[in-house]
Amino acid sequence: MNRKTASTVLLLGILFLNGCGEKKKDIETPKKSETLSLKEAFSEDFLIGVAINNRVIEETDTLAVGLVAREFNSISPENVMKWGELHPAPDVYHFDLSDKYVAFGEKKNMHIIGHTLLWHSQIGSWMNEVKDSAVMSSYIENHINAVAGRYKGRIYGWDVLNEALNEDGSLRESIFLKVMGEDYIERAFSLAAKADPKAELYYNDYNMWKPEKRAGAIKLIKKLQTKGARIDGVGMQAHWSLSGPSLEDIEQSIIAYAELGLKVMITELDITVLPNPWDLEGAEISQNFEGSEIMNPFPNQLPDSVQIQLAERYENIFRLFLKHKAKIDRVTFWGVNDKVSWLNNWPIKGRTNYPLPFDRAFEPKKAYERILRLKK
């Protein structure tokens, strides 16, 4: 074999080996998962949101951050935008975390919700000392202008007013109602519309499925509409249980709010698997049930039988949401996973609850699988 022939053989051998190497690499490359995320599965139906805490906002909990980015396309702040956190004194604002929250949403290309501009709970303690209507009105104006104005054009929608109704549909005797009368409601929505004209404006409350409370909410909304105040949607807080509310009550409420010309949001969704102390005759939760085995039946893990119940409940609820997807704009879970759920500590501290589709190790539960099964 002459030198030229040997060189040719060597070159062909190198090319062959490289080709084999590429082929082997292709074979060993793992296939991309065909499993849809929640946001992908429901992309043509409604947004899938989640409430996030400080550890997600500051990106210190990398597992939670990854889960949020993968599964959800909308975020709500669990606490950082509530009045007491953001505005603890008349001339003091703490915008550090709320700035990071909005920046996080923009970085991850999320639908950003502001929660909440006006709520009687978790408010600056100094507000509870106000007795004069003009002073109260001025404080509300300053707060909404400062907060909504700061994020003008960056927040998709604001929960302007939170939990202003009693269970019978009457207006709650909040500090705002006591000092200003019911005019504070229209004032809040008008101020928010002016501070951020492009943001959607919502009323948000729990037990909005109850007929009496639903009637009260409709009355409140119609009064705002009659006065010309802008309101774009209603948030039905969905802190529900394995047994209630009924699908019929939920459905009737979705239809009723949509008939007002409003978007319907399912907000703060979680499903408790634990007993409710108020269902027990003579229950006094402040004294009787701390550390109670009756009230904390699953301290270590959720039995398979209850996992199945939870999965079926979520599946039935999401089937209803899909039935009315033309009316529903967003479904937001209240927490990333079971570990961070507020239901571990309410209404009794120290309980172990399992109300969300992801467990304490960020793994999807049967509930997650049953929700996704609806889209297959």
DSSP letters of 293-304? TTT---SS---H
Beta bridge partners of 200: 157
How far is residue 54's CA from residue 61's CA, in Å, rounded to a whole number? 9
Instruction: For the chain, give the number of residues.
Output: 376
- Please give the model's pTM, rounded to 2 decimal places: 0.89
User: Using one digit for the tens of pLDDT, what is the confidence trace for 334-343?
Assistant: 999 999 999 9
Residue 24 pLDDT:
30
Write out the two tokens for 28: 């060993």
Catalytic center residues: 268
Beta bridge partners of 51: 76
How far is residue 135's CA from residue 127's CA, in Å, rounded to a whole number? 10
How is the chain split into domains, by residue range? 73-231
Q: What is the CATH number of domain 73-231?
A: 3.20.20.80
How far is residue 240's CA from residue 17's CA, in Å, rounded to a whole number? 62
Amino acid residing at 127: M
How far is residue 98's CA from residue 82's CA, in Å, rounded to a whole number? 10
Beta 74-77 vs 200-206: how paired, if at all?
A: unpaired
Write out the two tokens for 16: 């062959």
How many contiguous H segments (helices) and E segments (strands) does the chain have?
Answer: 14, 8
Write out the two tokens for 150: 């700061």
Sites in the chain below the pLDDT cut of 50 = 1-33, 283-287
